[in-house]
Amino acid sequence: MTCFSDALSGILGWTSIATWVVVYSPQIYENFSLKSGEGLSITFVVIWLVGDLCNLIGASIAGLLPTAIILAGYYSFCDTTLLIQIYYYRWLNTGTLARPEGCPDGDIGEATPLLTSGNDAQDSEKERSLKRHVLEYVGMVLCLVVAGMVAWAISEKVQGVDERPRPEEIVEWKSQLMGYSSAMLYFGSRIPQIAKNLNTKCRGLSPGLFIFAIMGNLTYALSICASSMETDHLIANASWLAGSTTTILLDTIVLGQFIYYRGERRVESRVEE
């Protein structure tokens, strides 16, 4: 039973890593395509970055699973990349997408709509059918699961069965404080993005960012539980479990916004025709 739980935890952990390696890619590419990062809430990204830094420090102090430390460091790098894109494209465009037509200089804010009505036709043309989107993401999810299994198999072969002592888990106030701080930051970071979507109607935002975030958080939480259900283990990882599971709920709300506003934009397109 122990071998099975270790194998399952390892596969889920590597699948989580594989997912988080690509999770930011859809949004980074979306920003690159639009030459704008205005679909993202800056507050969302900044709070996410602070949460990731807390996660990195806390995981290192607590001596958690290597996946936790690797992911936290990578998250921080990608958060920084998104922030650089937002400000770089604002500087590059000097007020085109960053400042919608009719808005005076200096009035850019989180409540400012991303695109004007003149861009609705182009935005509509770029939309693919919902069925095609679903098939694409299902295919990518399956590829990530396979990648996680392959990565786990390789790690097993390299490390060997007798060379995998479980890292000592330290339950002390410093790591727990950092862990719970990151959990609250992760939860709170989504709220500004949800609010911004009410104005931008999710334009300039990639659904892939949130689909893969849900998958990454889910597999990460399951890898912790699969590793052990002992009380000490769960207590040591409680804050990281809370951070992963609560953000899944809010990310699901964001996906609901995508579906709702996609239908609304289609209705508006028909009315304009």
Does residue 160 carry a pLDDT above 80? no
pLDDT band at 54 (very low <50, low <70, confident <90, very high): confident
CA distances from 47 to 41, 153, 205, 226 (A): 10, 35, 17, 29
pLDDT band at 263 (very low <50, low <70, confident <90, very high): confident
Q: What is the pLDDT of residues 228-245, one digit of tens each?
A: 787 777 887 887 788 888
The tokens for 147 are: 């990648």
Q: Which of 116-125, 141-150, 162-171, 256-265 has the highest mean pLDDT?
A: 141-150
pLDDT band at 113 (very low <50, low <70, confident <90, very high): low
Does residue 271 carry a pLDDT above 50? yes
Does residue 269 carry a pLDDT above 90? no
CA distances from 104 to 14, 101, 108, 112 (A): 48, 8, 8, 11
Helices (H), the chain: 2-22, 25-34, 42-62, 66-93, 120-126, 130-159, 173-200, 207-227, 231-236, 238-272
Yes or no: say if 171 and 232 are a contact pair by the CB < 8 Å rule. yes
Q: What is the pLDDT of residues 178-212, one digit of tens each?
A: 778 878 888 899 999 999 999 999 999 999 999 99
The tokens for 66 are: 């290597």
pLDDT band at 106 (very low <50, low <70, confident <90, very high): very low
Does residue 145 carry a pLDDT above 90? yes
What pTM, to 2 d.p., does this model score? Answer: 0.76
- How far apart, in whole angstroms, are the C-alpha atoms of residue 184 and residue 193? 15
Higher pLDDT, 230 or 64: 230
pLDDT score at 169: 61
Residue position matching structure tokens 């949460």: 51
pLDDT score at 185: 87
Does residue 80 carry a pLDDT above 50? yes
Nearest to 14 by CA among 57, 84, 66, 63: 66
pLDDT band at 104 (very low <50, low <70, confident <90, very high): very low
